[in-house]
Structure 1
Amino acid sequence: MSALDYVIGPALAQGHDVTLHAPAMFRREAERRGIGFRRAGTNWTCDPAVQQAASEVWKEGGNGPFNRYVFGRLWPARAGAKARDLIAAWTRARPDLVIAECSDLGAHLAARVLRLPVFAADNGLGPLLLDLWDTDIRPALTGLYGRHGQDAPPALPPLLVPAPLPWFYETPPPAARTVRRGVAEHRRALPGRPPRSPASRPLVYVSLGTLTTAMPGLRAVVEGVYREIIAALSGIDCDVIVSAGGLAEHLRDAEHLRDAGPRVKVVEHVPQPTLLRRVDLFVTHGGRASLLDAVEGGTPVLGMGVLGDQPDNVVAFARRGLGLALDLRAPREKIADAVTAVLATPHHAAAMDSAGAELSRLPPIDLTELRDAASLRAGG
């Protein structure tokens, strides 16, 4: 849901009625944001068999085969069920504007069938989907589009991107719009202050995201990476906060964590956007939202990409001088060297400050203007 906050927040502020059409698993997130909810599609991504199969593809073949399997095969195969639910819902109550995640292929089709104005909100997967579009996604969707009377080939709607395009796209996608980023209020609240040492040691924050820890087939791999990071940081004169989701309890029992004493604190979750304004280094999996949180917080990153868009993201950020990138399986010695290098190099923080200024200059999103522009494009 955080990938849609830059749309939801401005839409509410501008006085629009907002309804999320999504699987039941997102109902609570809609309620937290004060928007309507209508069930559409199924929670198929939570199916243990689906998660296990995807995990095995990643472990056996790496990130390229994983992306083709998940985004080039599984997502198109499930688009029909989502499109069917949305066509029925939007026929009864026609929306003025549809903004769907770029990976929500069923929503794109439903909007096209009903000739609704539509934009695709880039949730970080935009570059990956465009890379796979001609070879995997379009062929997989062609039959479904034909069954819904669509003669033109499947295509992504124009993208809304909450970051400067060159940060993540080597070639800017056609008709893409850069818009100002927004974060939900409940992700900003930070009770109290993070612990700081009397000697003002650097504070390092570690999070490898929630997706991989939720996939049983990858939990052991990610837990091993966390343990290597904790072992590396235990030998550095710094304070550490590790946000590890469902792995937190296991990590609290780690030998290296016990040896580190109170300098290393492992928790399940933190309000990340606010915390990143108070730390000196962010060790991250490189998800799009996490990297933009780091830019807004002015915090350099050490990226260790896991899957999907993440490996490319951390390389792109390192290339811009916003930190360093390491292979996910880097040993603790290399992790320690990289952490020390980033903390000791002022130009990474200066580059983050410049990137933050660039991000803040993006234009605010105007939902009425988007509706009018998309209506013209859709012939409505």
Structure 2
Amino acid sequence: MTGDDSPHHPHGTPPRRYLFALIDAGGTVPPELGVARRLVDRGHEVTVLADETLAEAVRRTGAAYLPRATAPSGTFRDWNLTPLALARTMADHMMVGPAPDQAADTLMAIDAVQPDLVVASSLAVGAMVAAEVRGVPFDLLIPNVYPFPAEGMPPFGAGLAPARGPFGPLRDRIFSTAGVRLFDRYALPGINTLRSEYSLAPIPTTWAQMRFARRHLILTSRSFDFPARMPENARYVGPILDDPAWAATQPWIPPAGDEPLVLVAMSSTFQNHVGCMQKIVDALSSLPVRAVVTTGPAVPTNAISAPAHVSVVSSAPHGEVLRQAALVVTHGGHGTVVKTLAAGVPLLVLPHGRDQSDNAVRVTTRGAGIALSRRAGAPRMARAATTILTRPIYREAAERLGKAIAHDAEHNGLIEELEQVQ
């Protein structure tokens, strides 16, 4: 169905029908729903198939909400895992485990909505299979740096800078081959079993499933990611800088005083990070700064002990805080990192897992901050924060990179790419 029977559309493009099939992976949700909201604002018909945990956030976008028939299984415990254990956990919890139910749910949704395009989270394998079965094109939303194998791109999850010297390409080939084999070991059999159940041909590697997508829509700035030879269907379409639905919207009052303001913004999902947050607060307690710590929905505010010049709140409008901030201390989630840089603020990054080491190395190689282990002690964190606050080169580097990120957030081809569906 094309929706071409509508006589008028304010932007000159006929209204389309879009079905979003999303995974609740915490920090990926605000940018993905930001895409849905932008399509709604353009006059398109958008339905979002997602877990009950996202129901209210979906409705706030103006899109129609369609609940999954099955609930997600447990917490994704992805902190302090070896690469082997992380690959298996991701396969079991995010890719293969939910795929059969997700495929069945998406098939029913496709039949009900009759979309022109399915827009899926990047690991929503079941939704991809369902779209393929029904012959509906699908796009993947990638709200982070490019995660799939690409020539010249450091292997995803390794926290590596671009390879240099004569042995650089060999390093990337070794890591990339190992990564492909690792995911194929845990994910490929389950994916091919699902494909067989729907009479689809088997695929040779896990990542081949993603290659069936019409577009890989990379929701970051090309200037933030490392350069690489990208697949033909990959598009950098700029970051979505929307705050999450749970963030505070009331006016924000900064702590009193003239000292530099530090924002501490950690994961919105539980990553066993309470101890790390407490060490950050202990570090800031010894410095001449004002600080605001946003715990998010995963950590109660009373779990953190803080002195008078450190305010601990469940949430705050980060956009407003960043306009006054001199430093952000974070786990390194993509959303927090690009919002911080777009505001021209340097970072102290303490990666906990997922793509956070990859984001950290993109910050440090540009000189826009410092990265430490999450196991670092409070004195070391205090020294790093002091270095960033007292050396203007960090702020200057963040401002340079931030200008490009902010430009790409405002001037991008996201909606045009989504509207170019036949």
TM range (shorter): 0.7 to 0.9
Tell whether 2:37 aligns with 1:37.
no
Q: Which residue does the alignment assign to 1:378? A: none
Is the Cα contact below 8 Å between 1:190 and 1:275 reproduced in 2?
A: no
1:36 partner letter: A
Q: Aligned ranges for residues 76-95 of structure 1 at < 5 Å?
A: 76-95=96-115
Tell whether 2:71 aligns with 1:19.
no
1:267 CA drift (Å): 0.7
Q: Identity percentage over the alignment?
A: 23
Q: RMSD of the alignment, in Å?
A: 2.5
Q: Which residue does the alignment assign to 2:381? A: 335
Is the Cα contact below 8 Å between 1:58 and 1:66 reproduced in 2?
A: no
Q: Which residue does the alignment assign to 1:247? A: 299
Tell whether 2:237 aligns with 1:179.
yes
Tell whether 2:123 aligns with 1:103.
yes
- From 163, 168, 178, the equivalent of 2:220 is 163
- From 226, 229, 234, the equivalent of 2:285 is 234
Gaps of 5+ in 1: 376-380
Task: State how far apart, in whole Å, the 2-side matches of 1:167 and 1:284 are.
Answer: 17
Q: Which residue does the alignment assign to 1:323? A: 369
* C-alpha distance after superposition, 1:245-274 (max 9, x if no partner): 34343334x3xx2xx2x2011011122233
Q: Which residue does the alignment assign to 2:334? A: 288
1:197 CA drift (Å): 3.9
Tell whether 2:72 aligns with 1:72.
no
Task: State how far apart, in whole Å, the 2-side matches of 1:63 and 1:210 are.
Answer: 22
* Helix, strand or coil at the partner of 1:242: strand
* Helix, strand or coil at the partner of 1:299: coil
* Helix, strand or coil at the partner of 1:191: coil
Q: Aligned ranges for residues 362-373 of structure 1 at < 5 Å?
A: 362=408, 363-365=411-413, 367=415, 369-373=417-421
Is the Cα contact below 8 Å between 1:288 and 1:310 reproduced in 2?
A: yes
1:84 partner letter: A
1:152 CA drift (Å): 5.3
* Helix, strand or coil at the partner of 2:264: strand
Task: State how far apart, in whole Å, the 2-side matches of 1:239 and 1:369 are.
Answer: 43
TM-score (normalised: structure 1): 0.84
Change (3 A) 1:172 1:294: farther
Is the Cα contact below 8 Å between 1:202 and 1:239 reproduced in 2?
A: yes
Change (3 A) 1:18 1:134: farther
Tell whether 2:191 aligns with 1:141.
yes
1:343 CA drift (Å): 0.8
1:203 CA drift (Å): 0.4
1:366 CA drift (Å): 5.1
Is the Cα contact below 8 Å between 1:10 and 1:365 reproduced in 2?
A: no
* Helix, strand or coil at the partner of 1:110: helix
Tell whether 2:262 aligns with 1:204.
yes
Name the count of aligned residue pairs: 351
1:114 partner letter: R
Could you tell which deviates more after superposition, 71-80 or 96-105?
Answer: 71-80
1:332 CA drift (Å): 0.6
Change (3 A) 1:36 1:63: farther
Q: Which residue does the alignment assign to 1:112? A: 132
Change (3 A) 1:251 1:125: same
Gaps of 5+ in 2: 1-28, 150-155, 157-175
1:315 CA drift (Å): 2.1
Task: State how far apart, in whole Å, the 2-side matches of 1:356 and 1:267 are.
Answer: 26
* Higher helix residue share: 1
Tell whether 2:37 aligns with 1:9.
yes
